[in-house]
Structure 1
Amino acid sequence: MNKTDRLTSLDQRAVEYIAVGAAVLGTGGGGDPHVGKLMALEAIRRHGPVQIVQLEELDDDGLIVPVSMIGAPTVMQEKIPSAEQLTKPLDLMEKELGRKVTAVMPIEVGGGNSLVPVLAAAERGIPLVDADAMGRAFPESQMVTFHLEGIACSPVTMADERGNTALLHTIDGVWEERLARALTVEMGGSASICDYPLSGAQAKRSAIGGTLTLAYEIGRTLFEAKQQKLNPVRELLAQLDGHALFQGKAVDIRRRMDGGFTRGEAVFEGTGKDKGQLMKLFFQNEFLLATVEDQPLAITPDLIALLDQDTGMPVTTENLKYGARVIAAGFPCDAKWRTDKGIETAGPRYFGYDLDYVPIETLASKGGAAE
C-alpha cells in the first residue's frame, strides 16, 4: 500500500472498519473488538477525529508509548475500561520518565487492543501511530517485535478500574509477563498497561508499519463484499494471500480461565468438501494451532482466523458458539516472526505443541491446507 493511501485520521467509519479488520488479524484474541469499537467511537464523539501518523513521520527523539489491555478476553467483555483507567498508566509513565508522551500506539493490531489507544490519544490530544508490535495478536507480553529487537520493556505501568496503579521494572519481557500477569489476576482478570516505551527512532526500526490501515482495508473489503454480493471469504483470502483451511460446524468447545488467559480447544465437524473430517483448534486467547487427524493445517506464529461461512465476519474465541458454521482461514505472519528468535518466542513449542513450525504456504502446497 502506498504511503498516500494510508490513514491520516480516524472517524466513525474508519473505526467500524478497523474493528472488523482487527478481529480478523486478532486470530480470535486481542480483546473483544466490539468493546474496543464502542470505546473508540465514544472518544471520537467527545473529542473529534484522532490524528494518525506514520512511522516515518515520527520525531526520532519523541516518546512513543503502547497502550493496551492485558488479561482474559472473556473478562474484558464485562469490565469495559474508562478513559481514566487508560490514561492513568500514561500519567505514571510520564512521571517515571520525566517527559511527555508524544504519541501512542497499539501493542497489537488484533481485536479490541487495536482501538484501545484511540481513547488515550483522544483524551490526551496526541497522535496515534499507524503501526503495532505484532502484526496480529499474541497472548503474552514478550511476544512483540520490540522484544525480538532487544528493546527494554521497562518501565511498565498498570491500572485497574478501582484506581489502583502499579509500576514495574522488570529485566525483560518474559519477566514482565510473569509479574504483570499475576498482578492482572489480582486486579480482577484484566488491567490497562503501558510497556515498551521507546523513541521514534526505535519505533521506525522495530514496529510493523501500516497495520491500522491494513485492518481498515480488511474491514472495508468485508463490508463492500456484502454490499456488492461478492463472496466475502474469497475476497479476503485474495487480499491477504490466505488459505482456506477447513469448512465446518462447531460441535465441541472447551474454554477455561487459567492464569489470566482464556485457554481451550474447539472441535469442528466438516461440511461440504470437508464432510467426514474433524478439525481441532487450540487457543490461548488467540488461535494457535489447527489440525485434522493430528496433521497441522496452520501453526503459530502464522495467523488462524475463524470466518462466518455466510458473511465472512470474524469469530473470536469468546464469541464462538456451538453450531457456528465457519471457515477456518490461515494467513502468513510478518517476516520478523519467521526468524529463529521469532519462532522461539511465539512458535508451537513455546506453547507446548510437539511440532516444528512450518509456514502456512508450505503446508498448503503439500496438501496440509485445503484451498
Structure 2
Amino acid sequence: MTATHISPDDLPALSVGCTVFAGGGGGDPRIGELMAMVAIRELGPVEVRPLDGFDDDDLIMPCGMIGAPTVMMEKIPNGAEGRVIRESYEQQFGRPVAAVMPFEMGGINGVLPVAWAAYAGLPLLDADFMGRAFPELQMLTPHLYGMPGSPAVITDERLQTIVFTTRDNIWLEKLVRNAVAAMGGSACGGLYPMTVGQARRPAISGTVTRAIRMGEAILGGGDDPLAAIAEVAPMVRLGQGKVIDIERRTSGGFVRGSALIDGLGDDKGRLFRLEFQNENLVVIEDGEPLATVPDIITLLDVHTGHGIVTEMIRYGQRVEIVAFDSPAVWITADGLKAVGPRAFGYDFDFVPVAERASGSAPTRVAGGFRA
C-alpha cells in the first residue's frame, strides 16, 4: 500500500486481512474485492485518510452489508447501493458526504466500501465502529456512547430503499432485520451517520491500514504464515485440527451453527467445538470455554494462513484456531453488556483469552486496540 491510497495491488491484502480480523463474520470478501477492483481500475486509487485529516463538521457515511453471509454468497450487490445510501443521507442532512467508512472491519464489509468510495470520488476513513465484525446493529461502538444508529438507510440490489428512524438502537436492529429478511436475507445499509467530530469518541482508528498490513504479512509470509500473522498482531493459539462436522442454518437474517474440530499433531486427542452467529462466539473444549467474544476468534487455513469465514467452513479443512485481543472498548462494563458471552445467551463471563491461556495479564495491542 502507498502512504495514502488503496490501489488494485492492495486489494488482495485488504481482503485477506479482513478475513483474519472479522472473527469469522462479515461475509466472504471476494465479491467485494472484485467490485472494488473494477471501480479502482476505472476511476483510480481510493485515498485512505485518518480522522485528523477531516474537519470536525464533515459528514461521514458508515456503510456495509447487513444480513446472512450465506445469502450474500449468491445474492450479490449490484454496485449502485452506495450511491443510493449517499444520496439519501445528503438529502436528509442537507450537505455532502465527505467520506465513506466501513461500519465493521471484517469480511466483505471491510472491502465493499472501497468500491463505493471509488464510485463517489470520496476518501475512505481509516477507522470503523467495531474493530472486527459483530452480528447485530446495536453492536457498534456509538451505541455504547448513547449515539443513535438512525437515520439508517437500507437498500437491496433492486435499489428498493427504506429509511428507518427508531426510538433506540435495539428497535433499529429488530426493524432492519425484519426488513432485510423480507428483502431476501441480505441488503446494503448506512448506519450511525455522524460528523467527524462526533466520531472521534467511538471510532476505532487505523483498522483499514491494519488489515492491509495483516494481509501483506500473510501473502508474503512464505512457509510460515502464522509467524507472519504474529508479527502484526499478537495472538493466542488454541489448537490445530480437522473439521469433522459442521452444522449451519440460516434464519432471521443470521447464520447460526457450530463446527467440531478434531485435534491433529500436538493437539491429537483434543476435540474443539466452535459456535457462531454470523461471527465466531465461543470455542469450547470439555465443556469449558477456551475463548469467547468479544475477543476475536478466527479459524486459519493451516496451509495459507487465510481466515475462514463461517459460511466457508467445510468438512475436512485443516485449521488453526487462534484468538486476538478484543478492542479495548468492548471489554468495558457497557461493552461486555452489549457483546460479551451473556449477550449471546451463554451462562459464563468474559475472561481475556490470553489470561485463560496463561493465567497472566493479557497481551496488549496498539493501534486503537488494547494499549
Q: TM-score range by the shorter chain?
A: over 0.9
| Aligned equivalent of 1:303, options 296, 316, 320 | 296
**Unpaired runs of at least 5, structure 1:** none
Rounded to whole Å, the distance in 2 between the matches of 1:42 and 1:211 is 23
> Secondary structure of 1:86's match?
helix
| Aligned equivalent of 1:270, options 263, 276, 288 | 263
| Aligned equivalent of 1:203, options 199, 202, 206 | 199
Matched residue, 1:139: 135
Q: Which amino acid aligns with 1:85?
A: E
- Confirm or deny that 1:115 pairs with 2:99: no
Q: Which amino acid aligns with 1:312?
A: G
TM-score, with structure 1 as normaliser: 0.95
Is 2:238–2:323's contact at 8 Å kept on the other side of the alignment?
yes
Matched residue, 2:31: 35
Is 1:81–1:161's contact at 8 Å kept on the other side of the alignment?
yes
> Secondary structure of 2:175's match?
helix
Rounded to whole Å, the distance in 2 between the matches of 1:198 and 1:106 is 13
> Secondary structure of 2:80's match?
helix
Rounded to whole Å, the distance in 1 between the matches of 2:74 and 2:145 is 35
- Confirm or deny that 1:339 pairs with 2:332: yes
Matched residue, 2:253: 260
Rounded to whole Å, the distance in 2 between the matches of 1:143 and 1:364 is 26
Is 2:249–2:257's contact at 8 Å kept on the other side of the alignment?
yes
Q: Assess, with a 3 A threshold, how the Cα gap between structure 1 residues 6 and 301 changes in structure 2: closer, same or farther.
A: farther
Is 1:237–1:243's contact at 8 Å kept on the other side of the alignment?
no
Is 1:71–1:260's contact at 8 Å kept on the other side of the alignment?
yes
Matched residue, 1:96: 92
What whole-Å deviation, never above 9, does each CA across 1:2-46 have from its counterpart, x for those lacking one?
xxx985111012111110001100111101111111111111011
Matched residue, 1:61: 57
Rounded to whole Å, the distance in 1 between the matches of 2:155 and 2:49 is 26
Q: Which amino acid aligns with 1:309?
A: V
What whole-Å deviation, never above 9, does each CA across 1:238-292 have from its counterpart, x for those lacking one?
4211010011000010000021101000000111111111100000011010011
RMSD: 1.5
How many residues align? The count is 361
| Aligned equivalent of 1:362, options 352, 355, 358 | 355
Is 1:107–1:134's contact at 8 Å kept on the other side of the alignment?
yes
Matched residue, 2:161: 165
Rounded to whole Å, the distance in 2 between the matches of 1:11 and 1:157 is 28
Rounded to whole Å, the distance in 2 between the matches of 1:330 and 1:349 is 19
Rounded to whole Å, the distance in 2 between the matches of 1:310 and 1:91 is 44
> Secondary structure of 1:298's match?
strand
Aligned-pair CA distance for 1:93: 1.6
Aligned-pair CA distance for 1:120: 1.5
TM-score, with structure 2 as normaliser: 0.95
Matched residue, 2:69: 73
Segment drifting more, 74-83 vs 251-260: 74-83
Rounded to whole Å, the distance in 2 between the matches of 1:112 and 1:128 is 15
Rounded to whole Å, the distance in 1 between the matches of 2:142 and 2:297 is 23
| Aligned equivalent of 1:235, options 228, 231, 238 | 228
- Confirm or deny that 1:349 pairs with 2:342: yes
Is 2:32–2:115's contact at 8 Å kept on the other side of the alignment?
no
Rounded to whole Å, the distance in 1 between the matches of 2:120 and 2:231 is 38
| Aligned equivalent of 1:222, options 208, 212, 218 | 218
Is 1:75–1:190's contact at 8 Å kept on the other side of the alignment?
yes
Rounded to whole Å, the distance in 2 between the matches of 1:42 and 1:234 is 32
Q: Which amino acid aligns with 2:106?
A: G
Is 1:142–1:173's contact at 8 Å kept on the other side of the alignment?
yes
Give structure 1 regions of 4+ aligned residues with deviation exceeding 4 angstroms: none
Is 2:141–2:203's contact at 8 Å kept on the other side of the alignment?
yes
Q: Which amino acid aligns with 1:97?
A: F
Rounded to whole Å, the distance in 2 between the matches of 1:62 and 1:247 is 46
Aligned-pair CA distance for 1:130: 0.6
**Unpaired runs of at least 5, structure 2:** 363-371
Matched residue, 1:183: 179
Is 1:86–1:159's contact at 8 Å kept on the other side of the alignment?
no
